[in-house]
Structure 1
Amino acid sequence: MVQLDEDPLWLDRLRRASAVPLARRSWGQAVTGSLGRLRGGLTLLDSPVACPPAELIGCVRSLSLLNPTVVSTRRDGLEVCALLHAGAFNVLDRDESPGVLAARLGADLRWLRRSRWPAAAGARPATAAPSYRTQALLLEVLCSLRGPVCCHDIRRLLGTPASPMSLPALRARIQRLRPYLASNGLICRRSGRWGAEMISVHHFEGAAGRAA
C-alpha cells in the first residue's frame, strides 16, 4: 500500500484486522516493485489528510497503469465518482472500522482474482527488456496501454507526485525505446494537447495479425 501521508496507527489497526498481508511502500517502491510481476494484486492508496482532489485523482490515474488501485480516504467533500472515473477499482471511507475496511479489501481482492479484470493480466514485452530499471518499467507500461493516456500520468510514475519526470526526459526515454517497441510490433505516438501530450501505442499494420 502507498500512504500519501504516514499514519502508522491506522495502518497497524488495519493490518491486525486483515487476513490480507499489507506492506507499506513508498511511491517509488510501489512503482518499481511492480516491474515484471503478474498483476493479480491490488494497490491500496491511502490519503490520511485531505489533499486536493486533482492531486489524488492524478495519483490514481498513474498507479492504475500498473495495478488495480483501491483508494481509502475521508469522503467528506470528495467526488467519489471522479476517482472511479480516473480508474480507481474501489473507493473506501478510511474512517470506517478496521474490520469493515479489511472485509471490503478482501472482497475486492477475491473478485479481482475470480474475474478477468483487464489490469490483472497486464501485457508484457515479448522481447528482452532494457537493463535500466526505469526504462524496463516504461516499456512495460507502454506495452500494456489500452488507449491514450496523458503524459502526466506516466511522468508521475517515473518521478513522484510532487516531482514528476520532465516532459523532455520522458520524450527522450520513449525515443530510446523505439527499437524495443518495434520488435514487439508496436509504435508509440504523441500528440500535443493544451500544453501536454497524449501518448498512445499502436500495432504496426499487419503486426497484430502476425503476432496472433
Structure 2
Amino acid sequence: MDGEAPPGVVVVQLDEDPDWQDRLRRGSAVPLAFRSWGQAATGRLGLLRGVLTLLDSRVVCPPDELAGCVRSLSLLNPVVVSTRRDGAAVRALLEAGAFNVLDRDESPGVLAARLGADLRWLRRSGRPAAAGAVPAATAPSFRTQALLLDVLCSLRGPVCCHDIRRLLGTPASPMSLPALRARIQRLAPHLAGEGLTCLRSGRWGADTISVHSSGGAVGRAA
C-alpha cells in the first residue's frame, strides 16, 4: 500500500463472503479496500487520517465477541459494522464504540450510500483517525511494534489489554499478555521520546493500560 492514496473505506471481513464482497464493490462509488484483520491493522500505518473501517460479519456471533472486535479496530479508525440486524446486538455494538451499524442484507447500493454518508460526515467534521500519532521517522522498524507505539501514543483513555492484544494478533488468537507486557516495556524509550509513559494496572489476569505525560499530568489518555 506504500505510495497509494488511502481508500475511503477499509473492509475487514470476519468470515469470507466473496459474493457479498463483489456485490458491494460493484455497487459502491466510494473507494473500497478489502483487507484481512492483520492487513487492516499493520497496513494502517502511514495512511492519511479520516479512513473509515467497515467490519463485516456474515455469521451471527455473540454480541460481546463482535463488540470486542469493534473496540480493537476503533483504536485505529472509526468503525462501521455490517451484520444481520438484531436489536440487542446493535445496542452492544454502539456501546462498544461503533460509529454505525448497518444491515448487511440490504442492497449493495443502499449499503454503499450509507457508507458514503458516514465517510462524508467524518471528513466534514474533521474527526481524525484514532491512530497516527507517531512520526514515521521515530517509529520502530518492526511493524507490530510500530503499530503498538502508534496506538499507545494516541490513546484517549484507559483501555483493557484484551483490545490491544486482539489488534496485535487476531480475534481468534490474540497476542498473549506476557508478550504484550514485554513489547510495552521495550517501547519505553520511544514513549519517553514523545514525553509519555505507559502505566499498567493488573487485575485478574488482565491489564488496564493508560498513557500519561512523563511530567505526571494526565496526557492523551485523560
Q: Report the TM-score when normalising by structure 2.
A: 0.88
Taking the aligned partners of 1:202 and 1:208, their CA distance within structure 2 comes to: 5
- 1:27 — aligned with what? 37
Q: Give the aligned partner of residue 51 of structure 2.
A: 41
Q: 1:103 to 1:92 in 2, by over 3 A?
A: same
Equivalent of 1:75, from 85, 89, 92?
A: 85
Aligned residue for 1:89?
Answer: 99
> Which of 113, 127, 130 is residue 117 of structure 1 equivalent to?
127
Deviates more, 1:63-72 or 1:79-88: 79-88
| CA distance in 2 between partners of 1:206 and 1:28 (Å) | 34
- Decide whether the 8 Å contact of 1:70 with 1:92 is kept in 2: yes
Q: What SS is found at the alignment partner of 2:64? A: helix
Aligned residue for 1:39, secondary structure, equals coil
Note if 1:13 corresponds to 2:23.
yes
**Percent identity of the aligned residues?**
82
Which consecutive residues of structure 1, in runs of 5 or more, have no partner in the other structure? none
In structure 2, runs of 5+ residues without a counterpart are: 1-10
8 Å contact kept, 2:41–2:167: yes
What are the residue-to-residue correspondences of 1:1-212 with 2, within 5 Å?
1-76=11-86, 78-119=88-129, 122-125=132-135, 128-205=138-215
Find the residue that maps to 1:23 and give its secondary structure.
strand
Structure 1 residues 121 and 25 mapped into 2: Cα distance closer, same or farther (>3 Å)?
Answer: closer
Q: Check conservation: 1:41, 1:120, Cα contact below 8 A.
A: no
Residues 73 and 3 (structure 1 numbering): CA distance in 2 closer, same or farther, change over 3 Å?
Answer: same
Q: 1:33 to 1:127 in 2, by over 3 A?
A: closer
Cα deviation 1:39-78 (Å, max 9, x = unaligned) = 2111110001101111100100000000111100001354
Shift of 1:38: 2.2
The number of residue pairs the alignment matches comes to 209
Give CA deviations for 1:108-131 in whole Å, capped at 9, x if unaligned: 000011102243674335861111
Q: Structure 2 vs 1, CA of residues 120 and 148 (structure 1 numbering), >3 Å: closer, same or farther?
A: closer
- Where 1:164 maps in the other structure, the secondary structure is coil
User: 1:207 deviation in Å?
Assistant: 8.1
